[in-house]
């Protein structure tokens, strides 16, 4: 198909500044559009925003920290956060609000990092609180934390590449020459396009010891020194060796973290002081309140957020005789007081996103750090060689200072001073320039001797530096020494406790529901009443709407499940505990309203079960009977509504729930009666049309189906056919003697 083009009008073409082709609409293949427009955007997000690099930082972090370093905030006093954010915009043009948010997450006050890089003053919010927000940037102050010195130690020694900023007006580092594995020391998460990253933090002492052992022995078992992740909020890590091995070797896995608490016996309350890194106080409190409101937890009388200057604390007041340990087991199961950190160690390595395990990341970091040390060493070597070269020229002057002074004094043109010194002493231009720039007061033997004393030291240093560059083992020793220094300065004990061999208590939602005997009454108009035996004994007179009647009665327990089949071939699942306890003197709850049924939808039958055993029989007007196992309606998730509960090919007359196969009696409008065993009908899918059980003459249809019991009809063998389908037999006895419906 030829591209469609819309030409610009002559008037527009005549306008000043008209661009040829502007305004034309051209059809383009969607693949070309994605490749030309979407893919560059996706690559930009992956490479320049969301995925951290081997130095442990995203570009926004790196630009902010480098700006603070250039502002002298590593050793100087704190400055207003607004000034820092404004200065960072020279490197990061995304706006001061985004820059300030980035800084907040790296501050000591926010408590999101094990080793924060920004020392803060003021209100910066809390990582564990959704509602505690940071103050405006004009009110807060910040500077670099002491540990940030390890990020910039070699930055002025050509250890990394310096690149142009977004408008090519200044230089910024492509990576920071970090002296320890920051990529695993502090947690880092990000969502890109088509991929994401979620890196958990590890204890600095354990991480450095593991890195040192890998430098000494690349085959070192990292699990022997790196015990488990360590989160800034503490908590308890449920140790799972297999899952940790997955994280260590593949970069993917899940770490279960549990909150820590203390029980105050005098006040009869639980104080939660540490929570998983994936949740907040408010989220936990809201979930607990919901559990209490729905009656799933009865032991709690109050819950409140008491975080303040002392840090995080959520207090739960208990009712009398409540067991705090059992309650916490329930809360671990049904709230985010126990949660999982999903690891996805996606890191940019040489410009390409790669998912690596801890061992892979440390190998890449060692390679990166060795390159930094080699570049730093080469930079230092060149500086010392240049210094030695100058001093060797100065040493030659020592042989005859008077000659040097005479050459300079007798030279008529200033431009000839350097050439004359070169020819007079046999030195090169750089050396001669250095000699010519010496002040007159320094042209004495003492000065020159002091300067030339360093020549032997320089030669020794140069030889040593050249040996370092030729020996990877010496480079590794330097890295090990620096790592030990970092551990000594900034190492701290673990914050997250490791729990080994934890036996998780099997708790399901049923165990949260109070279990006691109840009577259920379902009416023809769709009302349900749940009445306790005590209340029923006090008053058994049932109040009903005019014309309504009770069609089903159950004696069961509060934990039972209910299946409400409707006239629209649907089934709604509920539980007895979800209906309120009531009295016989009230109408009860309207089932369609409680379960959210359609306006024209009505309940035709209620099935009660605790284990989904037995069968459901469906009798249709056309003489067919369908049979389905009740387990076909069981679902693993808490689905409230199931479609296609039974066939809609013929009108449904009656449905029955039977615990096991039994005899069934069918009755037709033409007076025919038939008795058959339900085992003669095979159990099929829920929406099965069934099999023909009774053959009907024209205009006849099935009118009823009941479970057969002795005494319902006389001469019952008359109504039991040898084969199905059958026409049944007429029962011409008196109606009172013919059948008793139970």
201 and 187 Cβ atoms separated by less than 8 Å: yes
Report the interhelical angle of 324-334 vs 281-293 (nearest 10°). 110
CB atoms near residue 124 (< 10 Å) = 26
Residue 297: the pLDDT is 85
The set of long-range contacts for 85-93, using a CB threshold of 8 Å and a minimum separation of 24, is 85/137, 88/63, 88/64, 90/165, 90/169, 90/170, 91/63, 91/66, 91/67, 91/165, 91/166, 91/170, 91/172, 92/59, 92/60, 92/63, 92/64, 93/166
- The rounded distance, in Å, linking the Cα atoms of 524 and 522 is 7
Which residues lie below 8 Å from residue 488, measured CB to CB, with a gap of 6+? Answer: none
Q: What are the φ/ψ torsions at residue 174 (nearest 5 degrees)?
A: -70, -35
Residues 8-21, mean pLDDT to the nearest whole number: 54
Lowest mean pLDDT among 1-15, 142-156, 272-286, 537-551: 1-15
Residues 434-454, mean pLDDT to the nearest whole number: 79
Lowest mean pLDDT among 27-41, 141-155, 498-512, 656-670: 498-512
| Signed CA dihedral, 26, 32, 34, 38: sign only | negative
pLDDT (tens digit, 9 = 90+) per residue, 74-83? 998 999 999 9
H helices of 498-650, in order, are 509-512, 533-538, 591-595
Fold entry, domain 260-336 = Gyrase A; domain 2 (3.30.1360)
Half-sphere exposure of 160 (CA within 13 A, CB side): 20
Domain range list for the chain = 51-150, 260-336, 376-486, 513-607, 611-742
Most confident of 48-52, 297-301, 372-376, 645-649: 372-376
Identify the CA nearest to 303 among candidates 293, 322, 318. 318
Write out the catalytic residue numbers: 139
pLDDT (tens digit, 9 = 90+) per residue, 418-428? 998 898 888 99
- The rounded distance, in Å, linking the Cα atoms of 684 and 259 is 48
98 and 40 Cβ atoms separated by less than 8 Å: no
pLDDT (tens digit, 9 = 90+) per residue, 694-718? 888 888 999 999 998 887 888 888 8
- The rounded distance, in Å, linking the Cα atoms of 473 and 15 is 71
CB atoms near residue 594 (< 10 Å) = 16
Terminal C-alpha separation, the chain: 74
Residue 213: the pLDDT is 96
Residue 119 has pLDDT above 90, yes or no: yes
Residue 227 has pLDDT above 60, yes or no: yes
- The rounded distance, in Å, linking the Cα atoms of 591 and 588 is 9
Half-sphere exposure of 428 (CA within 13 A, CB side): 6
Which residues are 719's β-sheet partners?
none
Total count of residues recorded for the chain: 742
Cα separations (Å) of 156 from 153, 159, 161, 372, 586? 8, 7, 11, 11, 83
Residue 211: the pLDDT is 97
Identify the CA nearest to 330 among candidates 364, 366, 291, 379. 291
How sure is the predictor about 2, in pLDDT bands with cuts at 50, 70 and 90? very low
Exposed / middle / buried, residue 671 (Cβ in 10 Å: 0-12, 13-18, 19+): middle
Identify the CA nearest to 47 among candidates 350, 466, 474. 350
- Architecture of the structural domain at 51-150: Alpha-Beta Complex (3.90)
- The rounded distance, in Å, linking the Cα atoms of 680 and 691 is 10
pLDDT (tens digit, 9 = 90+) per residue, 620-630? 999 999 999 99
Residues 598-607, mean pLDDT to the nearest whole number: 89
Lowest mean pLDDT among 227-236, 237-246, 723-732: 723-732
Q: Does domain 611-742 have CATH number 3.30.420.40?
A: no
Identify the CA nearest to 739 among candidates 685, 680, 671. 671
Residues 314-343, mean pLDDT to the nearest whole number: 92
573 and 635 Cβ atoms separated by less than 8 Å: yes
Fold entry, domain 376-486 = Topoisomerase; domain 3 (1.10.268)
How sure is the predictor about 439, in pLDDT bands with cuts at 50, 70 and 90? confident
Four-CA torsion 216, 221, 227, 232, nearest 10 degrees = 60
Residue 510: the pLDDT is 55
Residue 19: the pLDDT is 66
Lowest mean pLDDT among 27-31, 252-256, 536-540, 596-600: 536-540
The fraction of the chain above a pLDDT of 70, given in percent, is: 93
How sure is the predictor about 309, in pLDDT bands with cuts at 50, 70 and 90? confident
Mean pLDDT, the chain, as a whole number? 88
- Pair type for strands 652-658 and 641-642: unpaired
């Amino acid at each position: 198909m030829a591209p469609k083009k819309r030409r610009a009008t002559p008037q527009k073409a005549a306008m000043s500044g008209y661009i040829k082709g502007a305004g034309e609409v051209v059809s383009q293949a969607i693949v070309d559009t994605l490749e030309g427009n979407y893919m560059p955007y996706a690559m930009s997000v992956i490479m320049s925003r969301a995925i951290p690099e081997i130095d442990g930082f995203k570009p926004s972090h790196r630009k902010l920290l480098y700006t603070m370093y250039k502002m002298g905030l590593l050793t100087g006093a704190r400055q207003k956060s607004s000034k820092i954010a404004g200065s960072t915009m020279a490197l990061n043009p995304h706006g001061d609000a985004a820059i300030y948010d980035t800084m907040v997450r790296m501050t000591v006050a926010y408590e999101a990092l094990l080793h924060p890089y920004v020392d803060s003053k003021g209100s910066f919010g809390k990582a564990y609180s959704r509602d505690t927000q940071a103050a405006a940037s004009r009110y807060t102050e910040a500077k670099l934390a002491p540990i940030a010195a390890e990020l910039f130690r070699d930055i002025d020694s050509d250890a990394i590449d310096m690149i142009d900023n977004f408008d090519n007006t200044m230089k910024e580092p492509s990576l920071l020459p970090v002296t320890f594995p920051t990529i695993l020391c502090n947690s880092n998460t990000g969502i890109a396009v088509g991929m994401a990253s979620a890196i958990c933090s590890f204890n600095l002492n354990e991480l450095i010891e593991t890195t040192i052992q890998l430098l000494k022995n690349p085959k070192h078992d990292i699990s022997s020194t790196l015990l488990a992740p360590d989160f800034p909020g503490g908590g308890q890590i449920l140790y799972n060796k297999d899952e940790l091995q997955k994280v260590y070797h593949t970069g993917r896995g899940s770490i279960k973290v549990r909150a820590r608490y203390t029980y105050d016996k005098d006040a009869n309350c639980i104080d939660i002081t540490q929570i998983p890194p994936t949740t907040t106080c408010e989220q936990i409190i809201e979930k607990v309140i919901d559990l209490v409101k729905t009656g799933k937890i009865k032991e709690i009388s109050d819950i409140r957020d008491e975080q303040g200057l002392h840090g995080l604390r959520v207090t739960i007041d208990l009712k009398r005789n409540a067991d705090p340990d059992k309650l916490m087991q329930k809360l671990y199961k049904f709230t985010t007081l126990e949660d999982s950190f999903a690891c996805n160690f996606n890191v940019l390595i040489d410009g390409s996103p790669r998912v690596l395990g801890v061992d892979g990341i440390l190998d890449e970091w060692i390679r990166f750090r060795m390159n930094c040390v080699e570049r730093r060493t080469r930079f230092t070597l060149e500086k010392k060689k240049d210094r030695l070269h100058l001093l060797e020229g100065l040493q030659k002057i020592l042989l005859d200072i008077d000659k040097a002074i005479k050459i300079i004094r007798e030279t008529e043109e200033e431009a000839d001073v350097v050439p004359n010194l070169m020819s007079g002493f046999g030195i090169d231009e750089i050396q001669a320039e250095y000699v010519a720039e010496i002040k007159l007061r320094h042209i004495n033997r003492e000065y020159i001797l002091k300067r030339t004393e360093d020549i032997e030291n320089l030669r020794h240093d140069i030889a040593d530096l050249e040996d370092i560059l030729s020996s990877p083992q010496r480079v590794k020793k330097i890295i090990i020494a620096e790592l030990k220094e970092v551990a000594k300065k900034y190492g701290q004990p673990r914050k997250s406790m490791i729990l080994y061999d934890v036996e998780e208590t099997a708790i399901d939602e049923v165990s949260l529901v109070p279990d006691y005997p109840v009577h259920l009454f379902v009416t023809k108009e769709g009302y349900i009443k749940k009445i306790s035996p005590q209340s029923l004994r006090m008053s058994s007179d049932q109040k009903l709407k005019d014309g309504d009647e009770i069609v089903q009665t159950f004696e069961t327990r509060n934990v039972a499940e209910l299946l409400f089949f409707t006239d629209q071939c649907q089934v709604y699942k509920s539980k007895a505990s979800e209906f309120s306890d009531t009295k016989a003197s009230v109408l009860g709850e309207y089932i369609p309203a409680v379960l959210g049924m359609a306006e024209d939808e009505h309940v035709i039958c209620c099935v009660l079960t605790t284990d989904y055993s037995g069968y459901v029989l469906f009798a249709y007007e056309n003489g067919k009977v369908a049979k389905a196992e009740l387990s076909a309606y069981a679902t693993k998730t808490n689905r409230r509504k199931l479609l296609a509960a039974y066939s809609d090919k013929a009108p449904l007359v009656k449905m029955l729930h039977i615990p096991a196969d039994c005899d069934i009696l069918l009755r037709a409008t033409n007076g025919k009666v038939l008795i058959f065993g339900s085992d003669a009908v095979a159990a099929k899918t829920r929406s099965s049309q069934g099999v023909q059980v009774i053959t009907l003459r024209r205009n006849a249809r099935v009118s009823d189906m009941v479970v057969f019991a002795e005494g319902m009809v006389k001469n019952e063998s008359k109504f039991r056919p040898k084969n199905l389908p059958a026409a049944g037999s007429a029962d011409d006895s008196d109606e009172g003697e013919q059948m008793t419906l139970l």
